[in-house]
Structure 1
Amino acid sequence: MVPLDALAETLKLLSDKTRLTILSLLKEKEMCVCDIVELLQTTQPNASQHLRKLKIGGLVNETRRSQWIYYSLNIQDKPYLQGILDQLPSMKEQINAKHKNSCN
């Protein structure tokens, strides 16, 4: 059973549309912060602030590769979040469209 305080903190993190959108993106694949910025059409500091909160809350992992930091979901130990993630819309079309228009 999840402690009530921990569950309340997790649900607070999920009460933000931008953070839910980030989780929806990461549900599809691991992503670099630069890709997240482009898909959210926001600034790098704004996206980084949301990612920092999700990392502190234990919902995402970060991995450094050279100069880039990649983010992935970290919910293996949080099965109670699977129902929420299942309700998030798929972001595959947005991700695929971004990659078609990308120079990388």
Structure 2
Amino acid sequence: MVVERNIDNVAILLKLLGDKTKLTMVKILDSHDCCVCEFVGIFKISQPAISQHLRKLKDIGLVKETRKRQWIFYSLNKESDLYPIVRSLLLHIPSQDDKLKELEKEGLRISCE
């Protein structure tokens, strides 16, 4: 799903990215595919809460999902009309790879394989 870029969609995007959890998710998804269980481990919030965050990002076409066996992995939709805006914003945000490294250290990064 490609969402046409207009001022309404940009306003929705900026509102969504004004949430620290969603912004962090987007930064992680810019370079790593993740499943819900990994985000649960990173953010220490419930699976339904994580799913709601991802659904909102998916609804505007910024996040896409890929099924691998029983797991659904999420990634940033770099084909989205909104991605250039997001990409320019993400350049100013520090890497979040430490969150994934910590998850891996806890043995949770590979839980979806």
Normalising by structure 2, report the TM-score.
Answer: 0.82
Correspondence 1:28 to 2:31: yes
Alpha-carbon displacement from aligned partner over 1:28-68 (angstroms, at most 9, x marks no partner): 30011111110111110000000000000111011111211
Q: Which has the higher contact order (CA 8 A, sep 6+)?
A: 2
Q: Which structure has more helix as a fraction of its residues?
A: 1
Where structure 1 has 5 or more consecutive residues not aligned to the other structure, the ranges are none
Superposed displacement of residue 17, structure 1: 1.2
Q: Any gaps of 5 or more consecutive residues in structure 2?
A: none
1:88 is the counterpart of 2:89: no
**TM-score, L = length of structure 1:** 0.89
Tell me the distance in 1 between the aligned counterparts of 2:9 and 2:106: 40
State the one-letter code of the partner of 1:45.
Answer: P
RMSD: 1.7
**1:56 — aligned with what?**
59
Distance 1:96 1:32 in 2: 15
Is 2:43 aligned against 1:40?
A: yes
**Number of aligned pairs?**
104
Structure 1 runs, 4 residues or longer, greater than 6 Å off: none
Which residue identity is paired with 1:24? K
Deviation of the 1:100 alpha carbon: 2.0
Q: Does 1:12 align with 2:30?
A: no
Tell me the distance in 2 between the aligned counterparts of 1:23 and 1:100. Answer: 22
In 1, Cα distance between the equivalents of 2:62 and 2:77?
5
